[in-house]
Amino acid sequence: MAKRFGNFHTVATISCRLPHHLDNGNQVLVENLNASPDIAKDILPSFAPVAEVHGIHYMTDGNAVPFHIGVIDCTNPGSSDVKGKATILASTAARWRLTPDISIGGLFKTPLTTPSNDPTLNRLTFNVIFKY
């Protein structure tokens, strides 16, 4: 669901990740709440800041690997002892469109809950997108 309030944009999503082999991987409920204001639109029209809260809730255990951690935002290894556990993360990000076909972005993510089941420590990531 997405909604614009003046110069402020919000997006909320809820999804369920189901593994290809239900008994091997984890079933996971994922929630996101994203907020993006249009700031300095006249000065920096191609700049887009974003703040997000991201939740990961493990609904089942898997039996593919004997892991007791989730790592679901990287992959779904089928961890065996994660059912009922959750991790809540917050991130702040920005994207800058350099040309109509090239943009750069960066993100800082940190856990809001103790990530006892996910190795999601503070992370800083960057990317470049080329459209063709």
pLDDT of the chain, 132 residues: tens digit per residue: 889 888 888 999 999 877 776 667 778 888 999 999 887 777 777 888 999 998 888 888 776 666 555 555 555 556 667 788 888 889 999 999 999 899 999 999 888 886 555 566 678 889 999 998
Structural domain range at position 58: 2-130
pLDDT of residue 80: 67
pLDDT of residue 75: 55
Enter the pTM of the model: 0.73
pLDDT of residue 105: 95
| 75 contacts 65 by C-beta, under 8 angstroms | no
| 61 contacts 79 by C-beta, under 8 angstroms | yes
Q: What is the CA radius of gyration of the chain?
A: 17
Q: Name the β-bridge partners of 56.
A: 30, 87
pLDDT of residue 126: 94
Nearest to 36 by CA among 66, 80, 57, 5: 5
Nearest to 11 by CA among 31, 30, 33: 33
Number of domains in the chain: 1
**Tokens 């703040």 belong to residue:** 51
pLDDT of residue 18: 78
